[in-house]
């Protein structure tokens, strides 16, 4: 139905691309679209078109994959690429799907794709896209594997706030210090021992 574009009656515009769909599928599978399409006062209902802002964490390819999930269900999950899954992790809650299968699968797909060479780029990209779930998974991976991630050239190009977040995460993993803090700021370490005379 989706591939053959049989009499679509609704359009979604993502990154200046017009993607055609069917209202009955959108309404049946998504509370978000049900609200947009069935509420007669909504601009989307009147125009038969929804514009997804460029500032959102959604690409045209990711939205097409999301539509495939709405139309075909779990069939999509076997062919979903990690770079597309990253954009769909939060889609099930945002679009009001009735279950969390898409979210769970996308999280697993993204997490299984992490490796020391690419996790820093995913951390940076998910931060810029406000994809919080992916961002948190990437940060946890970086901290757990920092002994190898720290050798990656991409570390040097991360923005300062991201580097600070990594450092704070590493600091939380350190065991607490047993030495009590002294009022002299640790100056006693350098004092000469006194002779007992």
**21 strand-pairing partners:** 10
Which tens digits make up the pLDDT trace of 65-93? Answer: 999 899 888 777 777 888 888 888 888 88
Alpha carbons within 13 A on the beta-carbon side of 77: 14
Can you list the positions of beta strands (E) in the chain? 10-14, 17-21, 49-52
Which tens digits make up the pLDDT trace of 4-21? Answer: 557 888 999 999 999 999
**11 strand-pairing partners:** 20, 49
pTM over 0.75: no
d(CA 3, CA 172): 49
CB 26, CB 97: distance < 8 Å: no
3-state SS string over 83-124?
HHHHHHCCHHHHCCCCCCHHHHHHHHHHHHHCCCCCHHHHHH
């Amino acid at each position: 139905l989706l591939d053959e574009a049989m009499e679509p009656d609704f359009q979604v515009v993502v990154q200046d691309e017009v993607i055609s769909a069917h209202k009955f599928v959108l309404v049946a599978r998504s509370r978000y679209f049900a609200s947009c399409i069935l509420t007669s006062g909504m601009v989307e209902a009147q125009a038969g078109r929804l514009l997804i802002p460029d500032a959102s964490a959604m690409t045209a390819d990711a939205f097409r994959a999301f539509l495939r999930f709405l139309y075909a269900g779990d069939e999509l999950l076997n062919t979903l690429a990690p770079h597309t899954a990253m954009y769909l992790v939060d889609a099930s809650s945002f679009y009001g799907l009735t279950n969390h299968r898409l979210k769970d699968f996308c999280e697993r797909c993204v997490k299984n794709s992490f490796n020391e060479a690419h996790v820093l780029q995913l951390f940076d990209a998910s931060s810029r896209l406000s994809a919080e779930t992916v961002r948190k998974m990437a940060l946890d991976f970086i901290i757990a594997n920092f002994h190898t991630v720290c050798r990656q050239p991409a570390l040097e190009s991360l923005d300062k706030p991201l580097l600070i977040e990594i450092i704070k995460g590493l600091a939380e993993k350190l065991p607490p210090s047993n030495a009590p803090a002294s009022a002299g700021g640790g100056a006693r370490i350098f004092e000469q021992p006194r002779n007992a005379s």
